[in-house]
Amino acid sequence: MMTDDIVAHLQSIANADIAEHSQRFFKTCPGEYGAGDKFLGIRVPVLRNLVKQYKNAELADAIKLLHNEYHEIRLFALLLMVALYQSSKQIEQQKAIFDSYLANTKWINNWDLVDCSAHKILGHYLLDKNREVLFQLAVSNSLWERRIAMMATYTLIKHQQFEQTFALAELLLDDNEDLIHKVAGWMLREVGKIDLAAELRFLDLHYQCMPKTMLRYAIEKLPQSQRKHYLKVSTA
């Protein structure tokens, strides 16, 4: 295992000014969604390049790194898991990464960690498989597991499979978290990029009870007249 080398490398390039900004940006104060998270202060492009540098790292390394207290080390771990998944030639290897991801959602605990990984691992693995696990995640008490469920559908959308996106968006209409409203609206908008009629059918059924944030994200790319129509009549 090379986890000690990776941690030492990341700590050696830490930047206090960037870390301070990240603490504010990712809402780490008590009562906020990222409360208590710690940052080293390393930009995402740097982490992506380092994943390439440590291309001989293994899944066990990624899992150990994912349990680290520092945000960027967990992000590195997830980028590494994505790289390992995408380079896997055997379905057994992909399943091992898929299973490890699900077993460690406790540590995938901020929106950027979810958004860089859920669709690339869970979504891809489930392309030709039963998606019940997404609905189990969607009713979790964990904000991050619910976001994982919705974000995972991004890959399904790219393959013109919209059913789970619509079903999960409907399930999450009453969710209390703005971060869930945002991702659901985002995924509905992505559906519209491929099949606008399908998105509009969903909106026509649900826009009157959609949270305002979800609706605004979903209709962001529509013509102004359509946006005004949905926002004018919405009572959410």
pLDDT tens-digit profile of 142-200?
Answer: 999 999 999 999 999 999 999 999 999 999 999 999 999 999 999 999 999 999 999 99
* pLDDT score, position 1: 67
The single-letter code of the amino acid at 138 is A
89 has pLDDT over 60: yes
> What is the average pLDDT score of the chain?
96
Residue 234 has pLDDT above 60, yes or no: no
CA distance 138 to 170: 11
Convert the pLDDT of each residue in 110-152 to its tens digit.
Answer: 999 999 999 999 999 999 999 999 999 999 999 999 999 999 9
Residue 72: is its pLDDT beyond 80? yes
pLDDT recorded at residue 232: 80
Query: 123: which 2 tokens?
Result: 């979504």
Spacing of C-alpha 192 from chain mean position: 19
Specify the pLDDT at position 236. 43
Phi, psi of 24 (to 5 degrees): -75, -45
Q: Closest by alpha carbon to 118, among 165, 73, 79?
A: 79
